[in-house]
A = this chain, B = another copy of it.
């Protein structure tokens, strides 16, 4: 892979620059609409804004996932899949939850998740990463503006923008508990960031991201249409385009904010060697298992 082939160079020791996206946002699928398919209006909203909020989408999954977390905290104690808060040492994230829990894998394979994701990406997909994020009450820390794709491209070798994150609210997400803010429309651009990537950057970046954070000037340029806070009751599903800029403030409220996230990448966009030239991140961040995921009905 030489530099000429890198459509989205970032952290290549050049000045920060805003490039245009060259990939489609919605790939579509030339087949009859399946169960739970998104409407044309929903697809258009996603294409334009880079996210879609589906209230009351999987309310029955919330309690089972929450119960499963209790087991996973014990089961994975001491392993890298558990990430702690920088100051308090509280649990912040559990990774690879779909690999360690059959019940959580069922959420990812649910037709109310998988059918929409395939509809947007226009192909079979695999689970590149899964996690539960827990933003604790009173102490949850803020996270700066970033594009997931920027990290996945540089550090995991995701070639093009053909991935989405589907995430399920496990707590109510409100204006008060450190919610996700997104920059609608920002997925149509690519901020090529300054600096370069250190080996094992993820050991720092999962706690507090430093590399791959656009400058204030770029954020100002991209927020002309304002910000949007992603709020909803437990059971709300959010579809989040891989290159959408997002961040979150700290959580000073008395309510934690937990979500379960699944990153789906197109099988036509499988991760290759990291564009940083460094060795790939661990399997729990970028799965080496790139098998298409199927709904239960497709498997039978």
Annotate A236-266 by CB proximity to B: 1 below 8 A, 0 otherwise. Answer: 0000000000011111111000000000000
- A129 to B142 alpha-carbon distance, docked (Å): 31
Chain B residue at smallest Cβ distance from A141: B250
Residues of B near A220 (CB, < 8 A) are: 254
New A-B contacts (11) at CB < 8 Å, excluding given A138-B216, A181-B252: A142-B252, A175-B175, A175-B229, A178-B249, A181-B253, A219-B254, A220-B254, A248-B252, A249-B250, A249-B251, A250-B250
Give the distance to chain B from A104, nearest Cβ to Cβ, in Å. 29
16 contacts between A and B (CB under 8 A): A137-B216, A138-B216, A138-B219, A142-B249, A144-B252, A176-B227, A176-B229, A178-B249, A181-B253, A216-B254, A223-B253, A223-B254, A247-B252, A248-B252, A249-B251, A250-B250
Q: Give the number of times this chain occurs in the complex, counting copies.
A: 2
Asked if A51 is at the interface of the complex by the 8 Å CB criterion, the answer is: no
Asked if A145 is at the interface of the complex by the 8 Å CB criterion, the answer is: yes
Chain B residue at smallest Cβ distance from A253: B227
Chain B residue at smallest Cβ distance from A249: B249
Interface residues on A, range: 20 to 34
Nearest 9 CB-CB pairings of A with B: A249-B249, A175-B175, A220-B254, A176-B227, A219-B254, A138-B216, A247-B252, A142-B250, A250-B250
Within 8 A of B (CB), among A123-168: 137-138, 142, 144-145
- A178 to B219 alpha-carbon distance, docked (Å): 17
Annotate A174-186 by CB proximity to B: 1 below 8 A, 0 otherwise. Answer: 0110100100000
Chain B residue at smallest Cβ distance from A223: B254
Given contacts A175-B229, A176-B181, A181-B176, contact A252 B138 (CB under 8 A): no
Within 8 A of B (CB), among A241-300: 247-254
A145 touches B252 (CB 8 A): yes
Chain B residue at smallest Cβ distance from A139: B216
Annotate A209-237 by CB proximity to B: 1 below 8 A, 0 otherwise. Answer: 00000001001100100010100000000
